[in-house]
């Protein structure tokens, strides 16, 4: 082979020969090569195992719970008294607490989030975007515990100064703060959807003499509607699962009420209260933790599926 001629010019053997030599004792390398895909698959499987773990954990204990508490009375019961001799487990107070706080949050997050998205995507100059977007990112990065502190020590006292009947712990304040927390999420997901609308569509409408508002409202928003709605649904899912803000600022009253000036407990706050109280394993109280968590899990899962379905089913083809 022609390499041999070149080899003569050098004191060392040809590279190709060196490589051939090394190849012989490279069994370690080739073993590794065969093992790597398996190892990586094993690592990737951890996420699946996590999901299975969550499901198994929730299901086994929930089944135990429903052996002790009637399924029907749990989901229709308006009374929740988990402690004491005559414990009663009705989940409705927690459900109303969760849904009302979520509704308040979305009343804040949807309009402000959407308007922010429209401003950033359609109106803001490049310079304004460069300043405003990081601010939203900072808002999104603030830990929920900080928002909880803010709701409890600032927003509640502020609201109480002009809503006299407001209790020190109430669902209104954490609901509002939760809404603020979710604004960045709705804004950035909606903005992504609107930015994906091709400029040719805007130009077409603008060339007909439409104002920017008309273009936004009649062209861009309809074109991006699936992404926008998906962002709302994900926001709802986030609100349902949010824990610390409501735990701190809404107290632990288990009243079945629709009065937003009152203290209410959400599903998440119940889980924190009961598990933090170190409920003894095996008791109905302990099992109730999982039944509530299961309900919460199903709620958020359904929301996430809906969001995925919307954005997949109605994906715009430009």
Partner 1 sequence: MTVLTGKANAKTNNLSASTGSETENKKIVYNTKDLNLWYGEDHALKNINLPIHENEVTAIIGPSGCGKSTYIKTLNRMVEMIPIVRISGEILYRERNIFDKNFQVEDLRTRVGMVFQKPNPFPKSIYENVAYGPKIHGIRDKKILDEIVEKSLKGAAIWNEVKDRLNENAYGLSGGQQQRLCIARALAIEPDVILMDEPTSALDPISTLKVEELVQELKKDFSIIIVTHNMQQAARISDKTAFFLSGEVIEFAETDKIFSTPSDKRTEDYITGRFG
Partner 2 sequence: MKHVNVEQVQKKMGSRLFANTFAKTLFLLATLFGLVVLVVLIYRVIQDGAAWINFDFLTNKLSTDPERAGIMGAILGTLWLMAVVAPVTMVLGVGTAIYLEEYAKKGRIQSIIQTNISNLAGVPSVVFGLLGLTVFARGMELGNVVLAGGLTMALLVLPVVVVSSQEAIRAVPQFLREASFGMGATKWQTVKNVVLPASLPGILTGTILALSRAIGETAPLVVLGIPALLIPLPDSIFDKFTILPVQIYYWTLDSALVAEYTNLAAATILILLIVLFVMNSVAILIRNKFQKRY
Per rule CB under 8 A, is residue 20 in the interface with partner 1?
Answer: yes
Query: Is the alpha carbon torsion for 177, 260, 279, 283 positive or negative?
Result: negative
Per rule CB under 8 A, is residue 16 in the interface with partner 1?
Answer: yes
Per rule CB under 8 A, is residue 199 in the interface with partner 2?
Answer: no
Kind plus residue range of the DSSP H or E element containing 81? strand 80-81
User: Residue 1's binding partner, choosing from partner 1, partner 2, none, with beta-carbon cut-off 5 to 8 A by kind?
Assistant: partner 1
Per rule CB under 8 A, is residue 281 in the interface with partner 2?
Answer: yes
User: Residue 18's binding partner, choosing from partner 1, partner 2, none, with beta-carbon cut-off 5 to 8 A by kind?
Assistant: partner 1
Contacts for 244 with CB less than 8 Å, ≥ 6 apart: 144, 145, 147, 148
Distance, CA of 160 to CA of 157 (rounded, Å):
5
> Which residues are registered as beta bridge partners of 80?
89
Provide, rounded to whole angstroms, the least separation between the CB of residue 90 and partner 2: 21
Q: Which of 8, 18, 125, 305 binds partner 1 (CB under 8 A)?
A: 18
Q: Which of 4, 21, 50, 70 binds partner 2 (CB under 8 A)?
A: 50
Taking contact as CB under 8 A, which single stretch among the options 14-22, 138-146, 163-171, 272-280 is the one that binds partner 1? 14-22
DSSP code string of 137-186? HHHHHS-HHHHHHHIIIIIHHHHHTT-TT--SS-SHHHHHHHHHHHHHHH
Contacts for 226 with CB less than 8 Å, ≥ 6 apart: 193, 310, 311, 313, 314, 315, 316
Q: Which two tokens stand for residue 224?
A: 């991006």
Q: Which of 105, 110, 271, 291 binds partner 2 (CB under 8 A)?
A: 271
* Number of helices (H), then strands (E), in the chain: 16, 2
Provide, rounded to whole angstroms, the least separation between the CB of residue 248 and partner 2: 6
Taking contact as CB under 8 A, which single stretch among the options 10-18, 136-144, 173-181, 250-258 is the one that binds partner 1? 10-18
C-beta separation of 230 from 104 below 8 A: no
Q: Which of 2, 37, 164, 200 binds partner 2 (CB under 8 A)?
A: 37
Q: Which of 138, 222, 258, 283 binds partner 2 (CB under 8 A)?
A: 138
If the CB atoms of residues 34 and 313 are measured against partner 1, the closer one turns out to be 34
If the CB atoms of residues 8 and 278 are measured against partner 1, the closer one turns out to be 8
User: Residue 26's binding partner, choosing from partner 1, partner 2, none, with beta-carbon cut-off 5 to 8 A by kind?
Assistant: partner 1
Distance, CA of 22 to CA of 29 (rounded, Å):
11
Site for partner 2 in 73-132 (CB under 8 A): 111-112, 115-116, 118-120, 123-124, 132
Q: Which two tokens stand for residue 85?
A: 């001799």
C-beta separation of 227 from 311 below 8 A: yes
If the CB atoms of residues 16 and 283 are measured against partner 1, the closer one turns out to be 16
* Biggest distance spanned by C-alpha atoms of the chain: 98
Per rule CB under 8 A, is residue 142 in the interface with partner 1?
Answer: no
């Amino acid at each position: 082979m022609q390499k041999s001629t070149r080899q003569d010019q050098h004191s060392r053997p040809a590279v190709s020969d060196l490589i051939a030599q090394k190849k012989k004792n490279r069994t370690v390398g080739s073993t590794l090569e065969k093992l790597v895909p398996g190892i990586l698959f094993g690592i990737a499987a951890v996420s699946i195992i996590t999901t299975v773990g969550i499901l198994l954990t929730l299901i086994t204990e929930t089944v135990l719970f429903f052996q002790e508490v009637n399924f029907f009375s749990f989901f229709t019961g308006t009374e929740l008294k988990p402690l004491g001799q005559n414990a009663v487990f009705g989940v409705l107070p927690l459900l109303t607490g969760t849904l009302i706080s979520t509704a308040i949050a979305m009343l804040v997050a949807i309009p402000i989030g959407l308007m922010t998205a429209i401003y950033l995507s359609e109106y803001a100059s490049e310079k304004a975007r460069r300043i405003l977007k990081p601010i939203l990112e900072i808002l999104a990065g603030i830990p929920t515990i900080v928002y909880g502190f803010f709701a409890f020590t600032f927003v509640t006292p502020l609201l109480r100064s002009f809503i006299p009947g407001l209790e020190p712990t109430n669902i209104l304040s954490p609901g509002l703060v939760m809404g603020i927390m979710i604004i960045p999420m709705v804004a950035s997901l909606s903005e992504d959807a609107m930015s994906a609308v091709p400029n040719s569509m805007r130009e077409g409408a603008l060339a007909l003499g439409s104002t920017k508002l008309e273009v936004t409202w009649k062209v861009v928003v309809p074109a991006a509607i699936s992404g926008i709605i998906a962002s709302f649904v994900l926001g709802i899912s986030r609100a349902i699962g949010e824990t610390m803000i409501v735990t701190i600022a809404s107290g632990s009253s288990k009243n079945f009420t629709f009065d937003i000036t009152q203290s209410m407990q959400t599903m998440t706050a119940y889980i924190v209260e009961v598990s933090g109280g170190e409920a003894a394993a095996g008791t109905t109280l302990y099992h109730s933790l999982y039944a509530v968590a299961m309900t919460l899990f199903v709620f958020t899962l359904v929301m996430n599926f809906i969001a995925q379905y919307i954005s997949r089913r109605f994906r715009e083809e430009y």
